[in-house]
Amino acid sequence: MKHASVLLAVLFAAATAAARANEAGMCGVCHSDVRVQFEQGVHRSEGIACTTCHGGDVAATTVEGAHRAGFRGVPRRRDIPALCASCHGDIARMRPYNLPSDQFALYQTSQHGRRLAKGDPNVAVCTDCHGVHEIRRRDDPRSRVFPRNIPSTCARCHGDAALMKKYGRTDNPYADYAAGVHGRAFLENASDAAPECTRCHGSHGATPPGLGDVEKVCGQCHATTRQYFLEGPHKKAMDDAGLPECAACHHNHKTPPAGVEMLDSVCLQCHAADSEQQKLAGTMKGMFTDAAREIDEARHLVEEAARIPLYVDDYQARLEDARTALMESFPVMHALDTGRVEPHTRRARSIAAEVSGEIHEKLAGRWWRKVGLGLFWFYLLLTAAILVRARHRAAAESRH
């Protein structure tokens, strides 16, 4: 019985080893380094063999036999997208994995794909982003296309100044992105709400948005701001002037944190300092800073009250409302209409004034403590006077 179980175990081990050898076939005997890489990838676990991409005979025991008819060797770069698409464009094959099958179609519309079709060998093909043999799933943190790794993956080419110079690009999009508000949120604060490259440019169909489309791209996240922008005069004016909409004021990659102080400088790029437009900017800024100052004063009062301590939970919640109203005025400013900004800043100011007033009232209502203290001192001094008198009497008695 014991011998039988040992025999079974040995047979089982041999069978699994044989099955494993089958996937990389005999190729791994010579290409051991590639085999190591391949075994870490997702294709190996899905039963894809070397020959699926490279051709040849997986079972052959000689080099000549393995590299027989149908052997493709290393695929040419320009053939790679189509080669990958031979499986990944197959709806039936991709359906069980719930994977899209339109990547190749998208790729052909991208800058990468169009240049590749024109014979440019430097543009990215599938393997540049996904890896060659060790292709991993997108949700594997070690994958180059895992969302957190996307900026560094794109930067492999787009951060290469020498390569970019060939295309007449002198900027460094990766460095700009990393310095901007989106890059800092994504790279430094690990915020998943912040966009990486593909959220604006697309992945397989990667293309810079056209001049008239910038607001649509930014509007995916900044929907309210986009709505006000579309309702304002800038949309038509910018499109007529060939300006890149949002990016004209906020920069495309090096986007600085948005704040009212931008109204001092950004408008001057197109408008004169004494123009009506710059005056409008100044008015909007004034509305905002007045409200912000009043909220800040109310906050100081709330903190002072909390130190006493008074109940301030309600005031804190209302100040949060005031800050929300103030924040709402930011997108509205893109409509460039003070009449539309004013209700928001007015609401912020009125909440702050209400809170300040109520706290002042509460603090002033504490006057009775001082009156009480005065009465208390009156009583104490009376007691002291009686004691001093009694003491004198006792001292006189003790002298006698």
Give Cβ neighbours of residue 374 (< 8 Å, ≥ 6 apart): none
Binding string, 331-370, against other proteins, x = CB under 8 A?
A: --------------------------------------xx
Our finding on whether 375 is near other proteins (CB under 8 A) is no
Q: Per-residue contact track with other proteins, 277 to 306, x per CB under 8 A?
A: -----------------------------x
Pick the binder of other proteins from 2, 3, 118, 307 (CB under 8 A).
307
| Alpha-carbon span 126 to 84, nearest angstrom | 8
Provide, rounded to whole angstroms, the least separation between the CB of residue 292 and other proteins: 23
Please tell me whether residue 394 binds other proteins under the rule CB under 8 A.
yes
**CA-to-CA distance for 125 and 231, rounded, in angstroms?**
41
- The piece of 151-159, 202-210, 328-336, 388-396 that touches other proteins (CB under 8 A) is 388-396
Minimum CB–partner distance for residue 369 and other proteins (Å): 5
Which among 61-69, 72-80, 182-190, 390-398 is the span making contact with other proteins, rule CB under 8 A? Answer: 390-398
Q: Which of 122, 104, 124 is nearest to 112 (CA)?
A: 124
Quick one: 141 or 309, whose CB is closer to other proteins? 309
391: contact with other proteins by CB under 8 A? yes
| Token pair belonging to 112 | 């990468």
- Cα distances (Å, whole numbers) of residue 385 to 199, 371, 381, 382: 83, 21, 6, 5
Toward other proteins, which CB reaches closer, 197 or 305? 305
Residue 376 sits in the site that holds other proteins (CB under 8 A): yes
| Residue 179 interacting with other proteins (CB under 8 A) | no
Q: Per CB under 8 A, does 387 bind other proteins?
A: yes
- Residue 132 structure tokens: 């060659």
3-state secondary structure of 193: coil
Buried residues in 344-355 as b, exposed as e (16+ CB within 10 A): bbebbbebbeeb
Question: What tokens appear for 38 in the block?
Answer: 């391949």
**Site size with other proteins, rule: CB under 8 A:** 22
DSSP string, 87-115: HHT-HHHHGGGT--S-HHHHHHHSHHHHH
Number of C-beta neighbours around residue 275 at 10 A? 13
Question: Which DSSP symbol is given to 146?
Answer: S
Closest distance to other proteins from the beta carbon of 361 (Å): 17
With respect to other proteins, which residue has the nearer C-beta, 2 or 369? Answer: 369
Does the footprint of other proteins cover residue 400 (CB under 8 A)? no
List the structure tokens of 181.
């508000």
Looking at the Cβ atoms of 269 and 398, the one nearer to other proteins is: 398
Site of interaction with other proteins (CB under 8 A): 306-311, 369-370, 373, 376-377, 380, 383-384, 387-388, 390-391, 394-395, 397-398
